[in-house]
Structure 1
Amino acid sequence: MTEENVSNGTEAIIVKSGDQKRKEHNERIYRTGIASIMGIVAGVLSYLLIQNETQGVIGFLLLLGAMVFQKHIFMLMKIDVSGLGGKDWFYQSFMAFAFWFISWTILLTIPF
């Protein structure tokens, strides 16, 4: 089914079919999962590549690289990124940051 435009006085309301809603929901889940995995990978790499606390900037650069690399993964998975706004990219970046911070902190506090 397709989208329907319903006129409600001055505003037009777009009604989406169940399949479209499901597809958009699945894409949001994939995007969140990718951001989470990229954050964890950046956190683990930060732990493995940094020898002392003076090299902490390298960990932050790894996080920034993971944030940028997400867009390329989205394109490889054929997820449409043209409709993503600033709020969406902020959310993606925050999720990567949160998982990077948590995974790196856990690895730094647990003696391996």
Structure 2
Amino acid sequence: MSKQNPKLKSRKEPVNTTEVIAEGSVANVEPPEKKNLIKERTPEEKQKEHRDGIIKTIVASVLGILAGVLIFKLYGAGEDRIWYAVLMIIIALTYFIQKLIYPQFKIDTKEFKAKDWFYVEFIIIDFFLVTWTLLLN
């Protein structure tokens, strides 16, 4: 006997679609259908999600740039400030500002998940730090 390939051991055998019932008759048995867990989106839904994503990115970018300019005007180099406190203030303020801005663009903030908020706040912090750094040079 030859050794069996370990990859072949893990493969499942195909489902037998016939079964013998009493007195030799054969019946077809279909494997259970898998439920489609992914909801199919219409082209209109896809287009709205795409538009909303672009609006979220633009709003977050503008807020980050404005925060960078504002902090530069208020604190300059910020040598006498605790840097992580400034970041937390920026995150808190922009969070509440976005909750007021997005409904104006017909974006429901109640549908936002943690991933969405992390995404927009990350963009704000990136633009804030880049803008502030450029103004300091």
What interval of TM-score do these two structures reach, taking the shorter chain for normalisation?
A: 0.7 to 0.9
Q: Which runs of 5 or more structure 1 residues have no equivalent in the other structure?
A: 1-7
Q: When you count strand as a share of all residues, which structure comes out higher?
A: 1
Contact 1:43 1:104 in 2 (8 A): yes
Q: Distance in 2 between matches of 1:14 and 1:71?
A: 27
User: Identity of paired residues, percent?
Assistant: 33
2:47: which partner in 1?
A: 22
Cα deviation for residue 63 of structure 1 reads: 4.7
The one-letter amino acid of 2:105's match is M
Give the one of 88, 91, 103 matched to 2:119: 91
2:61: which partner in 1?
A: 36
2:103 pairs with 1:75: yes
Q: Which runs of 5 or more structure 2 residues have no equivalent in the other structure?
A: 1-32
| Number of equivalences | 102
Note the aligned Cα RMSD (angstroms). Answer: 1.9
The runs of 4+ residues in structure 1 deviating greater than 2 Å are 10-13, 55-64
For the pair shown, which has the larger CA radius of gyration, 1 or 2?
A: 2
Cα deviation for residue 56 of structure 1 reads: 5.2
